[in-house]
């Protein structure tokens, strides 16, 4: 038994933030405080001190932040990671000999006991610390020592150590003789865009004005001002690579394509190149670089689709047939999800004997586009590839480029989606598209915002995608699009739309289908972006409200109000200091007006129960005086939502 084991008294348990007991790192954002908690206790009644110790992963020396006792042996401290890198943190605790002695001295003096022996003990403790003290600390400690040694009666001894600065000085200077710490944990610290942003998805080839001719990056440049005006921070591009010719799909996913049909961009690769090449009808790599620069110049980042699959014409098929699934006759299998067949796509075989070279090649694709200014990747169907691969890829990329963001497009089982987030994905698509009534929304947001998912799972609330047109949008008309936009934009720090949403496009392929009629996945779809009935200005006001209010920048600060109508939902969001409080009320019925009394949780909003306050609707500009109970009526034909900011207290 080692010497340190003999005097070990401190127990530290349940350190947080911790994901699966530290198996995976928690996630935070640079410049924002990271709260650290732990259960800390020891035998007996001695006083404990504890600190959070933290450093950048590439540094040697730890910094410290104090921890404070909360309740029931739970302690809390916080530190603010300043940089977009990985951090290491732990908790250290020890017995505070001086504080323990001082507490005991007070009890004895108050009980009228003699304390000559205790005063001598205290002086000895102070002298050890004084040997390391300088400046004001040395003066303070030496005065206390002198007072103890000269004390003639108990209260004089207590008075000698009554300076309120003394305990803190001793906390810094005394030995941590029985200090205990726990195994350090890793914290992934991302840049702010990882947590907050508005995404806009469009196909470059549809940005021209001709259904029979592909739009180009130059055409896409001309849309930047419009997209920025709507308040979007990220433009996500579906694959921009050469499209395969073999088994090319026609309109509406038909099995036959004419020579003029552009094919599906997810059938990646032909004789001109693969994942690091540009589809020639869109322009050149130089054109892409110019587009990225132009977008960055107006404050928009470009996100690229990273789809790990190939067309039969991809160069890899000839160069590395071992990376694909082989039939007994030596031919390569195309993708299937019985009864569906995808003859234009070859899935990649991660069980290939040459898996290592496959992994390295896929990483080189990401590295290539990082070299061309891309720092955000939307990953297609990551749940159909090994989680271990994504953990390796993301860690490898972020080791050199910690500012790179990965979004997981995984609409699959909950535990699989969670596992991908734990493995390193910065953001994740969600079930939001299929959560449309109040009970579903409250239950889902409560899970996302109040469970341990907040440590690793960052939702991105896309209202639609090229694959998903929910029945709510198909049947609800213009109001349904406004309602879903209001919910997504105000419920999640990150949200997004697929282009055409602002035009309220809602025609399905057929009844019961979530596929779009005349899907842009298989044909060129130029649009009139100012067509009557569009909600571009409405989306712009939503994004402006988000950008102007810190309350929308975090997920965990949502609290729901009690609304006496199942067709209406209301919630509040607030900044950490409660200086910015917003209240959102939405009519979930796109067909008719709804009204209800709602009761606000004022205590959770940092307000006294009897408060009255002036609110301003950030969508309409209207002002109201509100209190705990309020009657609300919303007409979806006019405006289905209130986004109210508390402007000032009235009483």
Shared domain check, 179 and 301 = no
- Quick one: how far is CA 191 from the chain centroid? 10
- For position 44, which CATH number holds? 2.60.40.10
Instruction: State yes or no: is 96 an active-site residue.
Output: no
How would you classify the pairing of strands 10-16 and 34-42? Answer: antiparallel
Distance of CA 289 to the CA centre of its chain: 28
Query: Would you say residue 635 has pLDDT above 80?
Result: yes
Q: Is the pLDDT reported for residue 639 higher than 50?
A: yes
Specify the pTM: 0.95
CA angle 376, 380, 381 (to 5 degrees): 135
Measure the CA–CA gap between 424 and 407, rounded to whole angstroms.
10
Does 560 lie in the same domain as 538?
A: no
Residue 461 covered by a domain:
yes
Same domain, 73 and 86: yes
Q: Per the structure block, which two tokens stand in for 47?
A: 């006083």
- Domain assignment present for 345: no
Residue 185 lies inside a defined structural domain of this protein: yes
How confident is the model over 371-395, as a mean pLDDT?
98
Question: Who's near 635: CB < 8 A, 6+ residues apart?
Answer: 587, 593
Share of the chain above pLDDT 90, in %: 97
pLDDT digits (tens, 9 = 90+) for 136-195: 999 999 999 999 999 999 999 999 999 999 999 999 999 999 999 999 999 999 999 999
What number is the average pLDDT over the span 189-215?
Answer: 97
Which of 552, 575, 597 terminates a domain? The answer is 552
Q: Annotated catalytic residue: which of 380, 502, 505, 617?
A: 380
The verdict on 283 and 148 lying in the same domain is no
- Kindly state whether residues 498 and 514 are assigned to the same domain: yes
Asked whether residue 331 is domain-assigned, the answer is no
Q: What is the CATH number of the domain that holds 301?
A: 3.20.20.80
Dist. CA 317–CA 314, nearest whole Å: 6
243 shares a domain with 202 = yes
Residues sharing a CB contact under 8 Å with residue 442, sequence separation 6 or more, in sequence order: 560, 569
Average the pLDDT over 523-528 and give the result: 97
Of 291, 292, 444, 286, nearest in space to 373 by CA: 292
pLDDT at 508 over 80: yes
Residue 392 tokens read as 């390796």
Distance, in Å, from the CA atom of 225 to the CA atom of 603, rounded to the nearest integer, reads 42
Which three-class secondary structure state does DSSP give residue 459? Answer: strand
Which of 91, 27, 71 is CA-nearest to residue 455? 27
Torsion sign (Cα): 133, 137, 139, 141: negative
Is residue 413 within a helix (H) or strand (E), and if so which, with residue range? none
DSSP line for 460-483: EEES-BTTB--HHHHHHHHHHHHH
pLDDT surpasses 90 at 525: yes
Ramachandran quadrant class, 135 (left: phi over 0; alpha: psi -120 to 50; beta: rest):
left
Looking at residue 2, its pLDDT comes to: 42
Q: Are residues 572 and 456 in the same domain?
A: no
What H or E segment, with its residue span, contains residue 51? Answer: strand 48-56
Q: What is the pLDDT of residues 48-81, one digit of tens each?
A: 999 999 999 999 999 999 999 999 999 999 999 9
Q: What percent of the chain has pLDDT over 70?
A: 99
Query: Residue 640 corresponds to which tokens in the numbers above?
Result: 């289905």
The mean per-residue pLDDT over the stretch 344-352 comes to 97
380 is catalytic: yes
Residue 43 domain flag: yes
Q: Tell whether 115 is covered by a domain.
A: yes
- Stretch 277-282: mean pLDDT, rounded? 98
Indicate whether 172 and 302 sit together in one domain: no
Identify the domain boundary among 135, 170, 189: 189
Among 475, 450, 506, smallest CA distance to 590 is for 475
Which tokens in the block code for residue 150?
A: 């000269």
Quote the pLDDT of residue 340.
80
Are both 176 and 292 inside the same structural domain?
Answer: no
Are 40 and 120 in the same domain? Answer: yes
176 and 212 housed in the same domain = no
Domain end position, chosen among 163, 189, 215: 189
pLDDT score at 212:
95
pLDDT (tens digit per residue) in 21-44: 999 999 999 999 999 999 999 999
Residue 6, pLDDT score? 67
pLDDT of residue 1: 36
Number of domains in the chain: 3
174 and 251 inside one domain: no
- Catalytic residue selected from 344, 409, 589, 617: 409
Q: Does 324 reside within a domain? A: no
Question: Is position 302 within any domain?
Answer: yes
Q: What is the CATH number of the domain that holds 639?
A: 2.60.40.1180
Residue 341: the pLDDT is 84
Determine the average pLDDT of the residues in 268-286: 98
Tell me which residue range forms the domain holding 135: 3-189
- Look at residues 166, 183, 303 and name the one whose alpha carbon lies nearest to residue 240: 303
Instruction: Give mean pLDDT, residues 586-600.
Output: 98
């Amino acid at each position: 038994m080692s010497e340190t084991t003999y005097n070990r008294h401190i127990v530290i348990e349940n350190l947080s933030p911790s994901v699966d007991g530290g198996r995976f790192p928690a996630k935070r954002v640079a410049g924002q405080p990271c709260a650290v908690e732990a259960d800390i206790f020891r035998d007996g009644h001695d006083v404990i001190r504890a600190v959070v110790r933290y450093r950048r992963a590439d540094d040697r020396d730890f910094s410290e932040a104090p921890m404070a006792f909360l309740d029931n042996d739970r302690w809390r401290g916080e530190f603010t990671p300043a940089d977009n890198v990985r951090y290491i943190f732990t908790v250290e605790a020890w017995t505070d000999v001086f504080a323990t002695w001082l507490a005991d001295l007070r009890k004895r003096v108050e009980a009228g006991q003699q304390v000559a022996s205790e005063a001598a003990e205290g002086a000895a403790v102070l002298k050890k610390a004084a040997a390391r003290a300088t400046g004001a600390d040395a003066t303070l400690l030496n005065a206390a020592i002198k007072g103890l040694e000269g004390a003639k009666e108990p209260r004089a001894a207590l008075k000698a150590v009554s300076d309120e600065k003394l305990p803190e000085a001793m906390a810094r200077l005394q030995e941590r003789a029985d200090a205990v710490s726990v195994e350090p944990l890793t914290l992934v610290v991302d840049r702010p865009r990882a947590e907050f942003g508005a995404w806009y998805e469009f196909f470059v080839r549809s940005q021209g004005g001709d259904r029979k001719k592909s739009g180009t990056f130059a055409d896409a440049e001309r849309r930047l001002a419009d997209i920025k005006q709507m308040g979007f921070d990220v433009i996500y591009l579906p694959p921009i690579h050469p499209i395969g010719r073999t088994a090319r799909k026609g309109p509406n996913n038909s099995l036959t394509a004419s020579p003029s049909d552009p094919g599906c961009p997810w059938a990646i690769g032909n004789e001109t190149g693969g994942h690091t090449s540009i589809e020639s009808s869109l322009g050149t790599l130089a054109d892409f670089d110019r587009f990225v620069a132009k977008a960055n110049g107006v404050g928009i980042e470009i996100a690229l689709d990273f789809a790990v699959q190939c067309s039969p014409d991809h160069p890899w098929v000839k160069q590395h047939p071992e990376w694909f699934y082989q039939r007994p006759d030596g031919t390569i299998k195309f993708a299937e999800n019985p009864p569906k067949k995808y003859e234009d796509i070859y899935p990649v075989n991660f069980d290939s004997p040459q898996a290592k070279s496959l992994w390295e090649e896929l990483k080189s694709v990401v590295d290539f586009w990082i070299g061309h200014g891309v720092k955000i990747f939307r990953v297609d169907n990551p749940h159909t590839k090994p989680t271990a691969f994504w953990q390796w890829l993301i860690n490898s990329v972020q080791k050199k480029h910690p500012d790179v963001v990965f979004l997981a497009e995984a609409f699959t089982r909950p535990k699989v989606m969670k596992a991908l987030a734990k493995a390193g994905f910065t953001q994740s698509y969600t079930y939001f598209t299929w959560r449309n009534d109040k009970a579903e929304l409250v239950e889902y947001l409560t899970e996302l915002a109040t469970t341990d998912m907040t440590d690793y799972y960052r939702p991105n609330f896309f209202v639609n995608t090229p694959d998903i047109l929910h029945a709510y949008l198909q049947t609800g008309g213009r109001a349904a699009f406004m309602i879903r936009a209001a919910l997504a934009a105000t419920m999640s720090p990150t949200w997004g739309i697929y282009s055409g949403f602002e035009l309220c496009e809602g025609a399905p392929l057929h009844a019961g289908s979530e596929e779009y009629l005349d899907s842009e996945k298989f044909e060129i779809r130029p649009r009139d972006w100012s067509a009557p009935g569009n909600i571009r200005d409405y989306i712009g006001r939503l994004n402006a409200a988000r950008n102007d209010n810190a309350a929308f920048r975090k997920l965990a600060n949502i609290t729901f109000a009690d609304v006496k109508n199942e067709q209406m939902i209301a919630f509040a969001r607030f900044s950490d200091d409660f200086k910015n409080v917003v209240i959102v009320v939405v009519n979930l019925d796109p067909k008719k007006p709804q009204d209800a009394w709602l009761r606000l949780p004022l205590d959770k909003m940092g307000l006294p129960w009897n408060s009255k306050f002036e609110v301003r609707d950030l969508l309409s500009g209207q002002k109201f005086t509100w209190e705990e109970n309020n009657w609300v009526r919303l007409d979806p034909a006019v405006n289905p939502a209130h986004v109210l900011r508390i402007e000032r207290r009235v009483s």
